Structure formats: C-alpha cells, structure tokens
Amino acid sequence: MPITVTDLHAVEILDSRARPTLAVTLTSAEGAVSRAGVPSGASTGSREAVELRDGDKSRFGGQGVRTAVSNVNGEIRDALRGRVLADLAALDEAMIELDGTDNKSRLGANAIVGVSMAAARAISMIAGLPLWRTLSLPEASPRLPVPHFNVVNGGVHAPNELDFQEFTLAPLGAPNEAEAVRAGAEVYGALKRRLAGKGLSTGLGDEGGFAPEIASPEDVLTVLVDSIEDAGYKAGRDGVALAMDPASSEFYRNGKYHVAGEALSSDDMIERYAKIVEHFPVWLLEDGVAESDWDGWERLTARLGGRIELVGDDILCTNPKIIKEAIERKVGNASLIKVNQIGTVTETLEAMRICQEAGWGQFVSHRSGETEDPFIADLAVGTGCGHMKTGAPARGERVAKYNRLIEIEDGEHLPYGLG
C-alpha cells in the first residue's frame, strides 16, 4: 500500500519510568493521521540500535530526547515529505539511507522507530484494515498469542535482592485470549495475597510485577506454583506454565554468574537451569547465559534446546544478521522481538521471517520503559508468532496491550496459542 507523508511531528513525552521518550504523529496525503509512542529498555543488549539521548545534564539528568525530536521534525520530515513511497519497506529504507550508519546512531533509533511505527499504522488506516492485518509474515496466519505476565521483578528492574529479572506466567492451556488474561490476573491476585501473608513486600518493579525480598530463583518459582494452585489453575503446560528471563548479562562478571551470593561458571549455571526445568513447569528460558558467552549459549542449547524454548534477547537484538549467525551456530531456538532494538518495523518483520524459516520461535516483547501504545499486540497477532510478553496484568501501559488482544479477539475467529 503506497503512502505519501505530508507531515511528521514528534514531541517529547514521558515513558512509564518517568523518562523522556517520543510520540510521533504522521499525516498522509491519503487521509490518514496516525500516532506512535516509542518504548525504551533498561537491560539493553550492547548491539542494539542506538537510542539518542541529549546528554544535557540540566534536563532529565541527560536523558532528554530533544535532538531525536528535532530529527523527526526536521531532517526525517524533509526527506520523506511529498514522496510517494511504495510501501512500509520503502519508507523504512529511505530513513535507513538518510541515517547512513549501521546502528541508527546519527538520527537515533528512537526517532526512526517512532516514524516507522506511525507509518505502519497509517498504512493500515489507508487500507481500511486493523493494524494486525497489515503486519504479516509470508508463511504464517494470524493467531492470538499466549500472553506472558511478568509477575515477579528483579535484576535492574527492581531494587530487591533478586538477581533474576523476570518470572512470568504463561497460560499455555487457556482456551482463548480472554481466559488467558483472566488466569494471569487471578494468579497475580493470589500471588499478592501469598506474598503479603509471608510478610513480604507487594511493591512493584518497572514492569508491574511484585518485587519481594526473595534472593533464590527456586524460592520464587515455588511461590508461583503455589499461587497458580491457590487461584484454582493447574501448574503446567496444560494449565498455567512458567517462563523466566534472568537477563543474565547483567550478573555476568569476570566469567562468572553471580546469583544469590554464589559465583557460578557457565556450566554450573546451565546445570542449575537443568534442575529448575526438572522441578518446575518452566517452558521458556530467555537470556539464560550472557550475550558475550556464545560458547555457554551453545552448551545451553545442546543441553536444554530439545526440552524448552531458549530465547535470545541481549545476544540477538532483533538483528537479522546476528540471528542468522546464531541459527548457524545452534545458539538458542527462538528470538525475542523488540521493534526498537533494531529500529524499524520492516527489519523487525525480516528478523521474524528468518526465525520462521529456520523453525525458530519468535517472542514479541515490550520494553521495561513503555508508553500506552499497544502496537506490539497487533504485531504479535498479525505475524502469528504465538506468544508475547508485556509485563504484569497491572499498570496502564502493560494492560493497554493485553486489552488490545482481548479487543482483537472479540468478533474475530482467530486461533489462540502456539499452535
């Protein structure tokens, strides 16, 4: 679907962590006016596309995005305005060329991704289709994803003593999206009561999960299994399963993994996960070992790749080139998918297509800093990737995405789950 941009306007707004980000509005000659909000991460991979921050310490401690805003309102707007672009790929390519770097560091990936998301939405409006219908992959049909609710937060997302960053509920056995969201919300409530009953804090981390003072990952998993049962569900793949993102690059120092006071080698860490998988219904492990530990990744994949989904986040950065290398080296069997990590919607879809072709999983994800834009809900449905994570079933910027999934399901007869 061709698009002719007539105007682009960005403004500095706040993300869910009180840090500045961009909202972009795009106006097209075909009559669409669309908007997008740009997400932002905290536990970032070193090879992510570059988020441009002003560095002016007198505003937001240097985190301002006025330069990125001016790049949208100036250079990008001037380059795109009035051109008839054949499709989203042509528009994204024009921005990549204009930027001229291979990591979007000149104009800023935050500027570029905001325009790309707004353009994707504008194109769906011009076509008269819901966004998810225009975000598709060649060999896949739309599906409603299994929502992964991050209900216990640690690592750099919370000030507690827990080293692992995310513990997630995955209602794999739910019959549909609405029931999956209900399961997530009910277990979240049961977990809150259980933590309070133990005298533990029910304060929240950045993604809306609880941040109790529990150091041991196994202790967290035990509380989660109990909470699933408290809420009347079965803990397991035919009910509510569990997933973890330790975000291990954050606790990997000098060749050791530092977990709850112990310093573990790669092999010790992998054996620890193998035990966890034996004892708990954990079906997915993201960033089990660090982005710099490719050998560890190979061994982790050989050890557990046949049993569970091993998702690469920091190591892959939604980058088609790195994903191809990982597929060749048998590093992981799935990629996390974050639009702002690579910086355009077109490259995100390309990363997903490469995974699909290799039989790899694609796990669509929010960032720890979010806006109320539910874009990724449509991305997950349209590409039929089968699973998505966007935080706890609490806090508006997370709930916006889950609610969007429920609204897509309403009136559409789409299959639910991984298929």
Active-site residues: which are they?
207, 338
Site string for ligand PGA, 350-379 (x = CB under 6 A): ---------------x-xx-----------
Closer CB to ligand PGA, residue 159 or residue 232? 159
CB of 251 to ligand PGA, least distance (A): 13
Q: How does DSSP assign 219-260, residue by residue?
A: HHHHHHHHHHHHTT--BSTTSBEEEEE--GGGGEETTEEEET
Task: Kindly identify the residues of this chain, within the stretch 246-285, that bind ligand PGA according to CB under 6 A.
Answer: 247
Q: How far is the CB of 178 from ligand PGA (least distance, A)?
A: 25
Q: How many residues bind ligand PGA (CB under 6 A)?
A: 10
Taking the complex as a whole, the smallest distance from the CB of residue 165 to Zn ion amounts, in Å, to 7
Which is nearer to ligand PGA, 247 or 354 (by Cβ)? 247
Q: With CB cut-offs between 5 and 8 Å by kind, which of ligand PGA, Zn ion, none does residue 200 bind? A: none
Residue nearer to ligand PGA on the CB measure, 186 or 373: 373
Q: Residue type at 238?
A: D
CB 321 → ligand PGA: shortest distance, Å?
20
DSSP assignment string, 38-67: --B-SS--TTSPPPP----TTTGGGT--HH
Q: How many residues does the chain have?
A: 419
Residue 367 partner contact from ligand PGA, Zn ion, none using kind-dependent CB cut-offs of 5 to 8 Å: ligand PGA
What is each CA distance from 11 to 21, 370, 374, in whole angstroms?
Answer: 8, 16, 18
Q: Which two tokens stand for residue 386?
A: 């089968």
- Token code pair at residue 169: 């509920």
Q: Which of 20, 37, 41, 382 binds ligand PGA (CB under 6 A)?
A: 41
Interactions with ligand PGA, residue window 302-341 (CB under 6 A) = 313
Smallest CA-to-CA distance from 71 within 40, 112, 34, 38 is with 112
Amino acid at 147: P
**Between 229 and 248, how does the x/- string for binding to ligand PGA read (CB under 6 A)?**
----------------x-x-
**Interacting partner of 260 out of ligand PGA, Zn ion, none (Cβ under 5 to 8 A depending on kind):** none
Torsion angles phi and psi, residue 95, rounded to 5: -70, -40
| Partner that binds at residue 368, options ligand PGA, Zn ion, none, CB closer than 5 to 8 Å by kind | ligand PGA
DSSP string covering 119-167, please? HHHHHHHHHTS-GGGGS--TT----BPEEEEEEEE-GGGSSSS--S-EE
CB of 99 to ligand PGA, least distance (A): 22
Please give the backbone phi and psi of residue 149, each rounded to the nearest 5 degrees, phi first.
-95, 115
Using CB under 6 A, list all residues that contact ligand PGA: 41-44, 245, 247, 313, 365, 367-368
